[in-house]
């Protein structure tokens, strides 16, 4: 289970603690100290999830949630509110403002990770996907590794997420627009040619093990992961000859 988590937390020590535990759990972490910095980061690219402190300098976490829920790009972005407030009214306010979950400080790192994983399973299935093995490749989201036999392949972050998505939906054709939404997480300033560039990089990364041809271009439609080795036999296993 691997995801990009944006942590919005004003206290450096707590930022560091959260970031360390999330990194150990296999996630990529970005940290910002306030709402304006968070908006700037979100304007570049949406993460898979936001872990948001209530009491921020300037604009509060509650106000930020409301702004995000009013924006079409962030309407469905998974958000967990973190706060030292433990009253029922506070929790209800956070949830009614748009938070998906609420964690009360102080909290254990294990509880935080468990809540993040639970929300990812519900809201971002591709980020929470299990290890998949197919066509001689093994992809493990928890360790961010792709191997072919004893060989470990070196993939960039986006190429890894692209392969992860395609391998969990084998043989299905996905348009460039669908891949942008599912893999990039609704980036604001990207066009469909970005997909072509990263597919090219993914094929280059798979070339050392000879798996580059498993990423197939379907003219006029998009891309798919070919699960079976066409060199062995045309058609599905078990089909009549």
Percent of the chain scoring above 90 in pLDDT = 52
pTM: 0.58
Phi, psi of 157 (to 5 degrees): -60, -50
Residues 6 or more apart in contact with residue 220 via CB below 8 angstroms:
none
What is the average per-residue pLDDT within 19-25?
92
Q: Among 156, 127, 121, which Cα is nearest to 48's?
A: 127
> Positive or negative CA dihedral for 103, 122, 66, 37?
positive
Pair 83, 114: CB distance under 8 Å = no
| 134 strand-pairing partners | 137
Contact 198/217 with Cβ under 8 angstroms?
no
Question: Maximum Cα–Cα distance for the chain, whole Å?
Answer: 69
* CATH architecture observed for domain 4-123: 3-Layer(aba) Sandwich (3.40)
- Residue intervals in the chain for CATH 1.10.10.10: 132-225
Asked if the bond preceding 106 is cis, omega within 30° of 0, the reply is yes
What gap in Å lies between CA 193 and CA 66, rounded to an integer?
Answer: 33
What residue spans in the chain does CATH classification 3.40.50.2300 cover? Answer: 4-123
Name the class of domain 132-225. Answer: mainly alpha
pLDDT tens digits, 178-229: 888 777 765 445 677 889 999 999 999 999 999 999 999 999 899 999 987 5
Which segment of 24-38, 70-84, 124-138 scores lowest on mean pLDDT?
A: 124-138
Residues 110-146 pLDDT 10s: 999 998 888 887 766 556 567 889 999 999 887 788 9
């Amino acid at each position: 289970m691997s995801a990009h988590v944006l942590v919005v937390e004003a206290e450096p020590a707590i930022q560091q603690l959260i970031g360390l535990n999330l990194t150990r759990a296999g996630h990529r972490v970005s940290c910002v100290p306030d709402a304006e910095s968070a908006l700037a980061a979100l304007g570049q690219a949406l993460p898979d999830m936001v872990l948001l402190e209530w009491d921020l300098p300037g604009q509060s976490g509650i106000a930020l949630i409301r702004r995000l829920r009013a924006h079409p790009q962030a309407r469905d972005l998974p958000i967990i509110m973190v706060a030292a407030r433990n009253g029922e009214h506070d929790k209800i306010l956070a949830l009614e403002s748009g938070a998906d979950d609420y964690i009360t400080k102080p909290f254990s790192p294990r509880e935080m990770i468990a809540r993040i994983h639970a929300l990812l399973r519900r809201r971002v299935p591709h980020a929470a996907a299990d290890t998949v093995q197919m066509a001689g490749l093994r992809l493990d989201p928890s360790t961010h590794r792709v191997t072919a036999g004893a060989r470990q392949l070196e993939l960039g972050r986006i190429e890894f997420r692209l392969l992860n998505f395609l391998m969990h939906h084998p043989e299905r054709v996905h348009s460039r627009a669908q891949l942008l939404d599912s893999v990039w997480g609704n980036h604001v300033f990207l066009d469909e040619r970005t997909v072509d560039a990263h597919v090219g990089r993914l094929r280059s990364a798979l070339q050392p093990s000879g798996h580059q041809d498993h990423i197939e271009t379907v003219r006029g439609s998009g891309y798919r992961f070919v699960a079976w080795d066409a060199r062995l036999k045309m058609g599905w296993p078990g089909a009549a000859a």
